[in-house]
């Protein structure tokens, strides 16, 4: 969508936004939502609107209904949250981009940009624990990215890698967490 709207090739968009450090900087909270949108426009030579950005992000967000259903089920008994490497712009428009997750996680949806640190930095996980009012060793972090899990472990969290819904259920069962 961004390529179409801006008249750029997909590779140009990727380079301008994702291969550069721009998106990482935004995920660290270095760009306000307004400046983030302006910078995307500058980089693409196209004045992207909030509605276009939201539409584009929604189109590239792939909800996993099984995982969301599991989180919903577990939230009746456990404190379930979400930690994502994403900019303040997404935090601001979370309900429009990913309404299922926004409704489920609410204030327990934590964005790296809010903490000023990204996964896999162990300090990001320590700040996450602080934000959620707990200690790292009381948290269970499960992710499909081994680097993120390693960073969580270095911060003192219980952390497991999963690669698909069945393995996620297995990892939770190890801790006695069952839907």
pLDDT at 179 over 90: no
- pLDDT surpassing 90 at residue 178: no
The ranges assigned to domains in the chain are 2-60, 65-174
Q: Over 90: is that where the pLDDT of 30 sits?
A: yes
Give me the pLDDT at residue 171, please: 86
Which pLDDT value is given to residue 157? 97
Fold classification of 65-174 is Rossmann fold (3.40.50)
The span from the CA of 160 to the CA of 144, in Å, is 8
* Cβ-based neighbours of 60, under 8 Å, separated by 6 or more: none
C-alpha 67/C-alpha 80 separation (Å) is 12
Mean pLDDT of the chain: 95
The number of CA neighbours under 13 Å toward the Cβ of 49 is: 4
Rg of the chain's alpha carbons, rounded to an integer?
17
Q: What is the pLDDT of residues 48-84, one digit of tens each?
A: 999 999 999 999 998 899 999 999 999 999 999 999 9
Hey, how many other C-beta atoms are within 10 angstroms of the C-beta on 178?
10
- pLDDT confidence tier of residue 26, bands split at 50, 70 and 90: very high
Residue pair 57/93 in contact by the 8 Å Cβ criterion:
yes
pTM listed for this prediction = 0.93
């Amino acid at each position: 969508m961004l390529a179409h709207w801006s008249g750029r090739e997909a590779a140009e968009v990727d380079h301008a936004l994702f291969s550069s450090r721009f998106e990482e900087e935004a995920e660290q909270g270095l760009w306000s939502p307004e400046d983030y949108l302006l910078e995307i426009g500058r980089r693409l030579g196209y004045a992207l609107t909030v509605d276009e950005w939201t539409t584009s992000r929604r189109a590239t967000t792939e909800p996993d209904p099984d995982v969301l259903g599991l989180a919903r089920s577990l939230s009746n008994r456990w404190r379930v949250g979400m930690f994502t490497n994403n900019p303040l712009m997404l935090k601001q428009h979370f309900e429009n981009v990913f309404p299922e997750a926004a409704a489920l996680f609410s204030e327990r949806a934590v964005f790296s940009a809010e903490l000023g640190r990204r996964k896999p930095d162990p300090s990001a996980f320590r700040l996450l624990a602080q934000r959620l009012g707990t200690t790292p060793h009381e948290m269970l972090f499960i992710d499909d990215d081994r680097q993120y899990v390693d960073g969580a472990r270095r911060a003192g969290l219980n952390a497991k890698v999963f690669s698909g819904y069945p393995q996620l259920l297995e990892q939770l069962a190890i801790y006695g967490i069952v839907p």
